[in-house]
């Protein structure tokens, strides 16, 4: 391949939590064609996990016996692309930063994706989890997606092929595993100044409300039905709760921050503690938003 591969790759320096074990192989494809070639040549029995920039990945300290594909920086293209003749739109590859996509659309005088300014991570991750904030969700504007399968074959699928819910997306007709490598979004014309100001306001709000000065992976748990996860965690006394060098943030209790030298076990132990108490006290299942892989 033309991109980069690293065997027995440590991940602490690659993921936003700045913690975790090594993986069998880390892969950074040069572009989509390079990714196709790599997948086509990969033995069928090898495990594969796709990650954007590592903003929501935790590899347990014992490591992961498989391949982790990083879609940044090789798959970060953003370009104008009308989904149909009646409206403007954009095509973004999976590795494109969600906030950069929001900024790009606003600069073009297009509205519909401003909320992505409040989402850490990439377009691919936003598609997988139907990421959202400020009363909007990623799939609200998706017209179609481009996927890649285990053999490196590309497929364009309409949004109607997918069952979309709160922080979850699945194909109606399950088949061979596929990963999102891009998506087409429909947008609407607006005043550029208005759109760029909205993006700037959301970025400022994110900076005020979230502990961006410490390594974290964004929100830890999905909001339970009819509740806000951060309020529940605060009610249970988890704001500031610490395990080793990891702790729930006091600024935003639904964030776990690395205070310096935290292990993956420190982080996951906090997650499990919160899940167990929420279940015992309130009968609530707290669902983790991050991807956790590997062995203890």
Rounded-to-integer distance, Cα 274 and Cα 161, Å: 35
Rounded-to-integer distance, Cα 246 and Cα 195, Å: 37
Structure-token pair, residue 198: 């909205």
Rounded-to-integer distance, Cα 7 and Cα 4, Å: 10
Distance set, CA 94 to CA 40, 123, 124, 136, 184 (Å): 19, 5, 4, 19, 11
Note whether 55 and 101 are within 8 A (CB). no
Phi, psi of 119, deg, nearest 5: -105, 120
Rounded-to-integer distance, Cα 122 and Cα 96, Å: 5
DSSP state of 150: T
Catalytic residue among 18, 60, 167, 243: 167
188 in active site: no
Tell me which residue has tokens 């076990």.
265
Structure-token pair, residue 269: 């132990």
Catalytic residue among 178, 222, 250, 289: 289
User: What is the dihedral sign for C-alpha 68, 229, 213, 125?
Assistant: positive
Q: Which residues contact 267 (CB under 8 A, 6 or more apart)?
A: 17, 19, 58, 243, 246, 256, 258
245 in active site: no
Give catalytic residue positions.
167, 289
């Amino acid at each position: 391949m033309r991109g980069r591969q690293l065997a027995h790759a440590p991940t602490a320096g690659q993921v936003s939590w700045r913690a975790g074990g090594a993986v069998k192989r880390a892969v950074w494809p040069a572009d989509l064609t390079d990714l196709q070639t790599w997948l086509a040549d990969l033995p069928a029995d090898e495990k594969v996990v796709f990650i954007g920039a590592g903003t929501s990945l935790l590899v347990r300290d014992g490591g992961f016996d498989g391949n982790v594909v990083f879609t940044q920086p090789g798959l970060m293209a953003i370009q104008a692309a009308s989904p149909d003749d009646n409206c403007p739109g954009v095509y973004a590859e999976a590795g494109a930063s969600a906030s950069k996509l929001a900024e790009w659309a606003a600069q073009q005088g297009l509205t519909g994706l401003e909320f992505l300014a409040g989402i850490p991570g990439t377009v691919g991750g936003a598609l997988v989890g139907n990421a959202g904030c400020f009363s909007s969700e990623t799939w609200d504007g998706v017209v179609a997606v481009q996927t890649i399968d285990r053999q490196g074959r590309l497929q364009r699928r309409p949004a109607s092929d997918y069952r979309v819910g709160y922080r979850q997306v699945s194909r109606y007709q399950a088949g061979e595993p596929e990963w999102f490598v891009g998506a087409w979004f429909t947008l609407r014309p607006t005043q550029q100044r208005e759109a760029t100001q909205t993006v700037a306001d959301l970025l400022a709000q994110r900076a005020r409300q979230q502990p961006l000065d410490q390594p974290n992976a964004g929100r830890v748990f999905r909001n339970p039905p009819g509740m806000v996860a951060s309020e529940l965690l605060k009610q249970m006394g988890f704001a500031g709760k610490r395990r080793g060098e990891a702790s729930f943030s006091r600024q935003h209790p639904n964030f776990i921050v690395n205070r310096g030298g935290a292990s993956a076990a420190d982080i996951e132990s906090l997650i499990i503690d919160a899940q167990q108490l929420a279940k015992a006290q309130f009968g609530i299942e707290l669902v983790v938003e991050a991807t956790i892989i590997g062995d203890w």
